[in-house]
Chain A
Amino acid sequence: MSATGTLKVQLDTAGPYVRQQVNVIDSTTLELVASPACGEEVEVPAGTYVVSATLPSGERSVGVAEVTANELAELALASPAAVAEPPSPPPPPAAAPAPGLEELGPPAGADAAPATSGWFVRFRVRTEQGFEPDEPQLDVLAATSDGAELTVRASGEGLLFAQVARAGEVPLTVALPIFGPTSSQSCRLTLGGPAGALTADVSLPDNPRVDAVARYLQSGHPVEAASVLGNAEQLLQQKMADPFGAALGGYALLRSGQLDRLHHWPRNLAGTFPWLPDGAVIAGEEAALEGDHATALGFVCDAARRGLPVFAAGFSLLAARLREYAGAPADAFGENGGLVVEAGQHLESALRVLPFVDFARVSFAFRGARVDDPGTSQEPFAAGDDWKEL
């Protein structure tokens, strides 16, 4: 057996927010040897490797790594800005703009103009800098005064929150389980509810298996949810990983008490997708249920630092553990004892959101016009800003 070394690849694309998967290719055979995430250490036979990463923009970054036996080789792939634009195949002969092309459909402008419905929507994306307005691809499937249905497609990176509203009611904010650089790129949002009880249901028609898991969880059947999903860990191993599906699977296993099926893969979920708070929530809860509260405290604080979870179950678990640990003696957590004070601070933040959360939904949803501060934005909806009527 050939000697092995360790390879660790860094890609300075968007800081720690996006953890890009890379291909490690044997430079002699040109075979794919491993597909670790950036920052992850992977053991490979000593030798020379071509390492490539395809960025969400479609750009590619390539580097070469020499791995020596029993040593750690670190490779920093160039950031996209530093990578020269690859040559494109020769374009077709220059043509004047637009003329010469024909459209395979009704004439321009024939697309039916949607009628207004009284439903309003806007989007916020959470990046490292905080919440920013966003305009994901939106298909309005139906919109009447009784309800509306739309498909939302991730347009880039960052966790997406939809805000929905209608006259006279406090807007509802709902986290969407979609993220551009993963296989989870679209979801359906169904708006409805009687006056004064606006609801927003999230479903995943393009991902029926994970959608079924969500439905089972929503109806209180975690065992069935876990059984439908099968091996949730596999969702992390695919080339186009589905971290949201894996997270839902994790919650299903936690809620159905099948800890033996977790066997610490949530730590991979937490490590590979640092932008997803739910991975750290699940890893923390698993550790807590195993009695390792020092580790659990670390994950719980990590989760809280990442921001609001995507799923209501995550916020529930997070708030419960923060409450427990914030009031515990620091010396109960060994090396992590210093995090108790931090847990108290996160708890205060969580409590400001808690009264407005709708725990009846799978996706994390709460009332409030401001994503970052629902407590001070409980006024009825007022049109303006970047609200769009459906």
Chain B
Amino acid sequence: MKPWIERGPATDGSGDPCTHALVVGVSRYEFLTEDGSPGAGGRETFGLQQVKTPATSAYLFARWLESTYRSPTAPLGTIRLLLSPSEWEQENVPDLAEIPVEAIPATRANVEEAVAEWFAACSTNADNVAILYASGHGIQMSPDDGGIVLLEDFARFPSVLDFSLDVGAVRKGMAGPTMAQRQFYFVDACRVRPEAALRFQTLGSGVGLPNPFAGTARVSAVYFAATPSTEALGAPGKGTLFVQALVECLDTALGVDDHVQPDRTWAVTATTLVSALPKRVRELAETFGAEQTATTGGQLEDVPFHTLEGKPQVPIAVGLAPDGAAAVALGRLFDPQAGDLFDGEAFAPTIAREVPAGNYLLEVRLQPPTPPFKDVSTFVVPALPPAYAETLTVGEDQ
């Protein structure tokens, strides 16, 4: 298959390391009904129905990779994109009205081919980076599976799981001396074992890779949208909560490490995502009055996943105590070397701004002077990711 994106070291023949991504999103299921009723011919479909968010999510992440992803040591080389958008998405999600011609349907045959090509691309250089994102209906069949995402032709034949992507089996096969040693897997799907599945010893096997006698990759991090036996949620039109949280963690200071890396860049790392991503997923779910618990697994090491081009914008919030001081206080935030970020800013009752990551000084002036409150000449504000919040006392006991 032709990758949707193919550039940089992937095309110049240099053999230099690069990032190879495989992105799969399935909302349209050929053999599922709209309401979850059994499919034609008595197919076992676990009560699943058509959905409206996985393709949106996959395309959102793919476009983020294409436009924003940055890895100084392994720039983006390829994105293989397999999308099966639902009719609803094609009609209501502007980006999915016309998907790229290189984005092919996420059927078993196509995904199998894409996985094989992605595997081959990733195994050209141990310094490559491998990224796999898969979204769709998911189930959990055994304790050890690393995420099963159902494909467009799920339930074509009685061995219904032949038409799935077995992310755990893919991950186990991503080994070898020249295989990408930094691998990131995002499984954006439920992990529930359907009751109907208990009747079967096996329901087929999904797309995977042969499992060689070779060491595992140095980093092989898996980010699951849900813990075992729990659901993943999606908001039609916006994508799954997981992908929304993921892109937020990558685009804002939420997922950025709190210090510069040795190469002087700011980065979202494998381990910062471990804490930031589940937290943001939980917060997003709470805004809907729902619960979703994302989790992580695999082989983790604190390596950068995405490097920011510049400094992250860090939200800061500084309030004053005791109450009442804010009414007469003005703030000035400055960098002694670079000058003011703002001056004369009123506390109302807090100053909440986003500032470039850095270590700043805050000066608080009381206008007019209002005893017992006192001016504060230099209060250090370490504006480091993900955020900074503090309450500053301007009373006599400061």
Contact = CB atoms under 8 A, between A and B. Distances in A.
Contact of A104 (B138, B288, B315, B319): B138
Given A25-B258, A60-B386, A110-B47, A139 B359 contact: no
Interface residues of A, number: 55
A32 B262 CA distance: 8
Contacts of B210: none
Contact of B389 (A23, A28, A86): A86
A104 B188 contact: yes
A91 interface: yes
A106 B287 contact: no
A88 interface: yes
B78 interface: no
B236 A100 contact: yes
A384 interface: no
Contacts of A83: 389-390
Interface stretch (A50-58, A160-168, A284-292, A299-307): A50-58
Contacts of B54: 104
A103 B300 contact: no
Interface in A128-158: 137, 139, 141-142, 149, 151
B388 A86 contact: yes
A98 B289 contact: yes
Contact of B391 (A28, A84, A205): A84
A105 B138 contact: yes
B194 A106 contact: yes
Contacts of A96: 289
Given A62-B388, A96-B289, A105-B232, A31 B189 contact: no
Nearest to A82: B391
Given A102-B52, A102-B233, A104-B188, A91 B297 contact: no
B143 A139 contact: yes
A83 B389 CA distance: 7
Contacts of B391: 84
A260 interface: no
A183 interface: yes
Nearest to B198: A112
Given A91-B283, A104-B231, A86 B386 contact: yes
Interface residues of B, number: 79
A1 interface: no
Interface string A308-351: 00000000000000000000000000000000000000000000
A352 B176 CA distance: 52
Contacts of B254: 89
Interface string A258-282: 0000000000000000000000000
A110 B192 CA distance: 8
A190 to B, nearest CB: 12
Contacts of B289: 95-98
Contacts of A94: 287
B9 interface: no
B139 A86 contact: no
B231 A105 contact: yes
Given A97-B290, A110-B46, 7 more contacts: A27-B359, A52-B382, A86-B317, A98-B288, A113-B195, A151-B228, A238-B302
Interface of A: 23, 25, 27-32, 48, 50, 52, 54, 58, 60, 62, 64, 83-89, 91-92, 94-98, 100-108, 110-113, 137, 139, 141-142, 149, 151, 183, 205-206, 238-240
Q: Which 8 A-B pairs have the closest CB atoms?
A: A105-B190, A97-B289, A86-B387, A141-B143, A84-B389, A50-B382, A112-B195, A32-B259
